[in-house]
């Protein structure tokens, strides 16, 4: 459905909403302004009118309707098509979820399509309307503001994930809970959250580099003024910080998982040594009792009056010696 539709002239929103998209687009072009239409999970029928009026490319329209796209930038004859994936951090479940924002940018129009939750579009529109000097720079300013808000929120999510990782690291190296099965499950779940985060941030680097004019294809991006390229370069710098944080988080959680598995292995070895030590202590009296339990007439000291107490004392002495030996070596 259409969430908002407005015409902007000289950085200010027109008081009257557009009744017809064709007239609004023609009026915006004549006045040097642009039309900004925001949609939320539109159906094919709802999007047909926008497609016809603004001449959007059918491949980009298909991507915008089906969603589930990677962050990317496509250049068509009459428009740019950019996909961003805003990320939401849910503190109750310590989970990361990603939505999608598709942005069509033309000479005198901006069309934004939102899928999922956590989109910064409403806040971006309100902020831009309070900054008419930025909005007066045309549709490019909208694309920059959306990318900037999305990447800035990435930084906040990266900070939250770092806090969660610190808590997880403390739990792993805590003596009483470091070897629990629940800890291993939390580590694996956290690694999946980082993977979801990386899918949103990693592929966005190339589109921002192109918008900033970097690389062999940067100079060929239309509808982006040269004066706006430094702004996209600044967003790209912020994204680089985010990607570095994501890489550091991924490496650290892998190290924590390795440390946890090593702890589990060490504890299993300790358990096996203790079991082996107790088994060795139990084997001594079993061996002696087994020997004297054999049915032979001629055995050493078999008819001696003190044979039974002597054997009991011998077993007790051997058990004490084995216990002290294993205790000294740390096996018990």
pLDDT band for 81, please (50, 70, 90 cuts): very high
Share of the chain above pLDDT 70, in %: 87
C-alpha distances (whole Å) from 262 to each of 171, 253, 256, 275 are 15, 14, 10, 20
108 Cα distance to chain centroid: 36
Give the pLDDT confidence score for residue 152 in this predicted structure: 93
Give the pLDDT confidence score for residue 176 in this predicted structure: 65
Count of H-run helices and E-run strands, the chain: 10, 9
pLDDT band for 107, please (50, 70, 90 cuts): confident
Q: What is the DSSP letter of 15?
A: S
Q: Per-residue pLDDT averaged across 298-323, rounded?
A: 73
pLDDT in tens, 224-277: 877 888 999 999 999 999 999 999 999 998 888 888 777 777 777 777 777 777
Tokens of 63: 């991507």
- DSSP symbols for 17-83: PPS-HHHHHHHHHHHT-EEEEEEES--HHHHHHHHHHHT--HHHHHHHHH----SEEEE-SS-EEEE
C-alpha distances (whole Å) from 134 to each of 120, 129, 156, 205, 231 are 17, 9, 24, 24, 11
HSE-CB for 178 with a 13 A CA cutoff:
19
Q: Which residue has the tokens 């959680």?
A: 253
Give the pLDDT confidence score for residue 138 in this predicted structure: 86
Give the pLDDT confidence score for residue 113 in this predicted structure: 92
Q: What is the DSSP letter of 188?
A: H
List beta partners, residue 111: 37, 104
* Phi, psi dihedral angles at 65 (to 5 degrees): -80, -40
Which of 147-151, 212-216, 303-307, 316-320 bottoms out in mean pLDDT, i.e. has the lowest? 303-307
Q: Per-residue pLDDT averaged across 171-193, rounded?
A: 75
Across the chain, mean pLDDT equals 82
Q: Per-residue pLDDT averaged across 154-180, rounded?
A: 80
> Which 3-state string (H, E, C) describes 267-310?
HHHHHHHHHHHHHHHHHHHHHHHHHHCCCCCCCCCCCCCCHHHH
- C-beta contacts of 188-191 below 8 A and 24+ residues apart: 188/257, 190/94, 190/161, 190/164, 190/165, 190/253, 191/250, 191/253, 191/254, 191/257
- DSSP symbols for 246-263: HHHHHHHHHHHHHHHHHH
When computed from its CA atoms, the radius of gyration of the chain, rounded to whole angstroms, is 35
Q: With a cut of 60, say whether residue 197 has pLDDT above it.
A: yes
pLDDT in tens, 2-31: 778 888 888 888 866 666 677 777 777 777
Give the pLDDT confidence score for residue 248 in this predicted structure: 92
Tokens of 133: 């000097």
Q: Per-residue pLDDT averaged across 160-164, rounded?
A: 89
Give the pLDDT confidence score for residue 47 in this predicted structure: 86
Tokens of 169: 């690291």
Give the pLDDT confidence score for residue 331 in this predicted structure: 66
Query: Is this model's pTM higher than 0.85 or not?
Result: no
Give the pLDDT confidence score for residue 215 in this predicted structure: 67
pLDDT in tens, 121-157: 888 888 988 988 888 888 999 999 999 999 999 999 9
* 3-class secondary-structure state, position 104: strand
HSE-CB for 325 with a 13 A CA cutoff:
10
pLDDT band for 164, please (50, 70, 90 cuts): confident
With beta carbons less than 8 A apart as the criterion, state whether 35 and 109 touch.
yes
Q: With a cut of 70, say whether residue 211 has pLDDT above it.
A: yes
């Amino acid at each position: 459905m259409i969430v908002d539709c407005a015409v902007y002239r000289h950085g200010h929103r027109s008081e009257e909403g557009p009744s017809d998209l064709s007239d609004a687009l023609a009026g915006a072009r004549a006045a040097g302004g642009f039309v900004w239409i925001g949609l939320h999970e539109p159906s094919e029928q709802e999007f047909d009118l926008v497609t016809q009026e603004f001449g959007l490319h059918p491949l980009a329209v298909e991507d915008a309707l089906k969603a589930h796209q990677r962050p990317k930038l496509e250049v068509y004859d009459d428009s740019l098509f950019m996909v961003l994936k805003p990320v939401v951090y849910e503190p109750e479940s310590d989970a990361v979820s990603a939505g999608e924002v598709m942005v069509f940018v033309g000479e005198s129009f901006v069309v934004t399509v939102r899928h999922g939750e956590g989109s910064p579009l409403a806040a971006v529109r309100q902020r831009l309307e309070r900054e008419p000097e930025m909005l007066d720079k045309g549709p490019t300013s909208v694309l920059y503001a959306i990318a900037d808000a999305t990447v800035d929120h990435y930084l906040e999510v990266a900070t939250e994930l770092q806090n969660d990782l610190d808590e997880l690291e403390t739990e792993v190296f805590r003596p009483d809970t470091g070897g629990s099965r629940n800890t291993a499950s939390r580590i694996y779940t956290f690694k999946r959250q980082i993977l979801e985060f990386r899918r949103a941030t990693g592929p966005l680097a190339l589109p921002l580099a192109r918008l900033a004019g970097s690389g062999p294809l940067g100079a060929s991006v239309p509808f982006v003024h040269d004066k706006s390229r430094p702004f996209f370069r600044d967003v790209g710098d912020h994204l680089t910080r985010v990607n570095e944080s994501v890489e550091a988080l991924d490496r650290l959680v892998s190290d924590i998982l390795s440390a946890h598995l090593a702890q589990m292995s060490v504890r299993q070895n300790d358990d096996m040594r203790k079991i082996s030590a107790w088994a060795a202590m139990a084997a001594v009296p079993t061996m002696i009792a087994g020997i004297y339990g054999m049915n032979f007439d001629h055995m050493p000291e078999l008819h001696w009056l003190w044979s039974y107490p002597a054997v009991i004392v011998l077993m007790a002495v051997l058990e004490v010696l084995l216990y002290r030996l294993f205790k000294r070596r740390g096996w018990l």
